[in-house]
Amino acid sequence: MDPARGRGVIPIGWSGRIVAGDYEMTVGEKSANVAPLVELRGVSKGYREGERRHDVLVDVDAEVLAGEIVVLLGRSGSGKSTLLNLVCGIDLPDEGDVVVDGVTINRVIERDRTLFRRDHIGFIFQFFNLVPTLTVLENLMLPLELARRTEAEDTDKALGLLDDVGLADRISSYPDRLSGGEQQRVAVARALVHEPRLVLADEPTGNLDLETGRSVLGLLDNMVRSTGTTMIMVTHSREVAGLADRLVMLREGQLVEIGHGELS
Ligand SMILES: Nc1ncnc2c1ncn2[C@@H]1O[C@H](COP(=O)(O)OP(=O)(O)O)[C@@H](O)[C@H]1O
Ligand SMILES: [Mg+2]
């Protein structure tokens, strides 16, 4: 498989020879294998409701290749957020393995899962989740501090990203002074500032009006693609699905791959 298939870019970091498990890849070779960045192997997850067990994910197998943008669709309550929580190791599967960037994250201790998340994953949430007591710039510096990377050049990087999202003149503002769209732009920059391998976005336009949502999505798509970052984006908006390399639908505990044409 060609790592650049459908993307037009070679993901950053994929230079030279890459070996991960059974997969090998040399960037530039036409028929090289691409290592999946995310793998779910026989993953089941359920919650207990009194005496009953409510199965959310049932024996799910899935792969997301490095550099892919996968959109995850499904009704409210179908388990989309649960799946993201498993991918980032906030939650653990009842059965099966979750492998991210070669690390079986359900088999490492909580502390290491936390560190892994800080170093390798960026998040975007429906309700922005900016820290209200920190300025825009401070919010952006936080992932770098958590990932123990606060070099002088990181401030420049944060400032550059705020410029990219059109908020260079708001660096000293507090989040409650910004509109929803502006807050989500900050969240987009925050998700990318520590150069994660993987971005997880959970209904990023769910709290924005249509126009604002479109513009934030365009920005997110652009920035994720130009850096070759892998992204799993959850939505129940079919419009959002348009930018996906691949669409998967969560239905009755199962992941089903669907074509763009099947969206009505
Ligand atoms: N911590 C939890 N305890 C009990 N049930 C939960 C918990 N988290 C999620 N659920 C249930 O799992 C199902 C899937 O939830 P969720 O993943 O949030 O769905 P979605 O994000 O697709 O709307 C829902 O029925 C929800 O009530
Ligand atoms: Mg959800």
pLDDT per residue as tens digits for the range 167-209: 999 999 999 999 999 999 999 999 999 999 999 999 999 999 9
Instruction: Place 145 in a pLDDT band, splitting at 50, 70 and 90.
Output: confident
Q: Which two tokens stand for residue 151?
A: 């070099």
Q: Read off the pLDDT of residues 73-109 as tens digits, 9 standing for 90 and up.
A: 999 999 999 999 999 999 999 999 999 999 999 999 9
Whether residue 185 is contained in a domain is answered as yes
Q: Which range of residues forms the domain containing residue 108? A: 66-93+101-262
DSSP-assigned letter for residue 236: S
Question: Which residue is associated with the tokens 């939650």?
Answer: 91
Domain-located, residue 56: no
In ligand 1, which atom is closest to the CA atom of 74?
Answer: 22
Q: How many helices (H) and strands (E) does the chain have?
A: 6, 12
In a domain, 168, yes or no: yes
24 belongs to a structural domain: no
214 located within any domain: yes
Six token digits for residue 152: 């002088």
Q: Evaluate whether residue 76 is within a structural domain.
A: yes
Q: Per the structure, how many domains does the chain have?
A: 1
Q: Which two tokens stand for residue 245?
A: 């390399």
Residue 254 bridge partners (DSSP):
251
d(CA 36, ligand 1 centre) in Å: 26
Q: Hunting for tokens 């900016």 — which residue is that?
A: 130
In a domain, 55, yes or no: no
The ligand minimizing its distance to the Cα of 203 is: 2
Domain CATH number, residue 254: 3.40.50.300
User: Does residue 119 form part of some domain?
Assistant: yes
* 24 CA distance to ligand 1 middle (Å): 37
Distance CA 145, CA 16 (A): 30
Per-residue pLDDT reduced to its tens digit, 39-65:
999 999 999 988 999 999 999 999 999
